Amino acid sequence: MNKFIHICAFVISITCTVIGQNHLCGITHEDESSLMPDDTPLLRPRNALEYIPIKFHIVTDNNGGGAVDFNNLLNQFDQLNIDFKPFGFQFYLADGGDLPILKSTNLFEAPRDFPGEIQTQRYANAVNVFISKNTYDSSNGGVIAGYYTRMADHIVAQTGYIGYKDVLTHEMGHFFNLRHTFYGWEDDPYDELKHGNPVKSLTAPSYGVEVELVNKANCQKSADLICDTPPDYNFGFNATGCSFGKQVRDPNGDTVITMKNNFMSYFNNCIDFTFTKGQQTAMQNDYLGPRRNYLRNGYVPILDTIKEEVKLLAPINAQRVETYNNVSLTWTEVPYATRYFVEVTDGKDVFRAISLTNSYTFSDLKANKVYIWKVRPYNEGFTNTKLVFSTFRTGISTTATTELTGSNNFVQIFPNPIFGGQEIGVKVKTGKSGDYKLMILNTLGQVVRSYNKTLSVGENQFQIEGNNFEKGIYVLRLQNNAIDISQKFIVAE
Ligand SMILES: [Zn+2]
């Protein structure tokens, strides 16, 4: 775990001075001590795979600024499933995968200062994860990477740590009842000069619990209450990365062999972070217990693997579109995708959408600017997909006669939509005469028709045979060595 520590309010001097260098967990003493993990065999039989709804609340300021990078969020969701699926927890996105923005400067700046507001936003039937610029109160600002509050039963994670491998998994461990492996040493990590070697006291510095012994004599009532996690006197806090070379002995004089790669420890950058079997059982017991009734709704989510990458159809790369107030983006549909995350950015402003179809029109871009546009498909249970991107330049026109045209060119298709068997009328205005290749592409990016056309300066009008087109969205693309323009059209029946 990247180093986590309890909030400064409870911490005296020494630990406070190093807080800024670490990625801190903000679970409170009160919340953590109320976690009572049970690693005895399962309370109830469980399914091979339990489907767990998760609701991400993407918190921004009142103007919609500062949202988490959605691409990182989709990565993060995938990472949760990588970490939890091996022992039967499959998360899925609530609401079919919609990722709406929650505009609230209060929650953006200091979620903990506004418990009432956070409570009204909470979903009744999902794990609630609020993603915010700051994760704590105004005094702790950006110091805390994340926390779980058992009292209010939600996770808050800092925007900057989303996509960061282990932070959300650690907090999800707390959600499902796990304590830190070093419970009792949160505020006062092991220090040989202070605590001795062997450790002198039988009582851990915090919470009044016993120091966990290597011989497991007290593992059921000390530290994290889980017997297969070896003693950890918060060795991770002062360690560099995922290593700890010191030989520390417990109060019996037995050498502690700690587990560095435990998600609930404070070690940094371990490549193989894991939960022990005991921790897995404790989480399963929590899930099956009455406290988690609200997660067990019997819904079987879409989990199909999306293998195909989308292809960006229009605008084509580096194309100049005619308008800026009505820019329509089209890409290929891919099997099993139910949502497409779309983003358009000029490097400064970011415009985002979740589209249910393979196109989206942005109406708030600026004139004559180069934009990068990105698309990533996903469904409610599967987000391990590739983001693809391309560029275009907006035009200066605010009219929307054609959605997509090339520089000094103008394409119209009529009628649009086209009904079964109708001829497709094409009007092209060009400033340059010559031979063009005219192609019609389907939403998979496949060329379904191809013609050679000679166009003259000015307006050209011609017909294309309309038979044998299946219902759907198509792109007409006109190309020669100087020009490459596209126009979308629909075949309705
Ligand atoms: Zn923690």
396 Cα–ligand 1 center, Å: 52
pLDDT of residue 465: 84
The Å distance, Cα 4 to ligand 1 centre, comes to 6
pLDDT at 2 over 70: no
- Residue among 271, 261, 268 at smallest CA distance from 240: 268
Calculate mean pLDDT across residues 45-52.
84
Q: What is the mean pLDDT of residues 463-470?
A: 84
Distance between Cα 297 and ligand 1 center (Å): 28
CATH class of 409-491: mainly beta
Q: pLDDT band for position 405 (50/70/90)?
A: very low
* Half-sphere exposure of residue 460: CA atoms within 13 angstroms, side-chain side: 20
Cα end-to-end distance, the chain, whole Å = 56
CATH of the domain spanning 312-393, picked from 3.40.50.1000, 3.40.1110.10, 2.60.40.10, 1.20.1090.10: 2.60.40.10
Q: Which residue has the higher pLDDT, 433 or 149?
A: 149
pLDDT tier at 472, thresholds 50, 70, 90: confident
Say how far apart CA 204 and CA 481 lie, in whole Å. Answer: 75
Q: What is the pLDDT of residue 492?
A: 78
Q: Which of 151, 144, 62 is nearest to 101 (CA)?
A: 62
d(CA 341, CA 155): 24
pLDDT attached to residue 275 = 97
Stretch(es) of the chain classified as CATH 3.40.390.10: 35-178+283-295
- Over range 154-158, report the average pLDDT: 95
Distance from Cα 486 to the centre of ligand 1, integer Å? 52
- Tens of pLDDT, residue by residue over 361-388, are 998 899 999 999 999 999 999 999 999 9
Give me the residues near ligand 1 (ion), CB cutoff below 5 Å: 4, 25, 27
- Tell me: the pLDDT tens digits for 77-110? 999 999 999 999 999 999 999 998 999 999 999 9
pLDDT (mean) for 191-198: 96
- Cα of 447 vs centre of ligand 1, distance in Å, is 54
- Residue range 102-128: mean pLDDT, rounded: 94
Cα-to-centroid distance, 258 and ligand 1 (Å): 17
pLDDT given at position 9: 31
What average pLDDT does the structure give for the chain? 87
Q: Residues of CATH 2.60.40.1930 domain(s) within the chain?
A: 409-491
DSSP letters, 30-96, are HHHHT-----SSPSS---SSEEEEEEEEEEE-TTS-S---HHHHHHHHHHHHHHHGGGTEEEEEGGG
Residue 37 CA to residue 431 CA, distance in Å, equals: 74
Confidence category of residue 410, pLDDT binned at 50, 70, 90: low
Domain with CATH 2.60.40.10 in the chain: 312-393
Say whether pLDDT at 4 is over 70. no
Give CATH for domain 35-178+283-295.
Answer: 3.40.390.10
For 128-145, what is each residue's pLDDT tens digit?
A: 999 999 887 666 656 788
Going by C-beta distance under 8 Å and a sequence separation of 6 or more, which residues neighbour residue 13?
none
Which range has the worst mean pLDDT, 275-284, 399-408, 409-418? 399-408
Task: Report d(CA 231, CA 259) in Å as an integer.
Answer: 8
In angstroms, what is the span from residue 229 Cα to ligand 1's centroid?
Answer: 15
The whole-number average pLDDT for the span 227-239 is 94
Give φ, ψ of 31 to 5 degrees. Answer: -65, -45
Per-residue pLDDT at 44: 65
- Centre of ligand 1 to C-alpha 266, Å, is 8
% of the chain surpassing 90 pLDDT: 61
**Does the predicted TM-score (pTM) go above 0.75?**
yes
Q: Read off the pLDDT band of 283 (50, 70, 90).
A: very high
Rounded distance from Cα 394 to ligand 1 centre (Å)? 47
Distance 264 CA to ligand 1 centre (A): 7
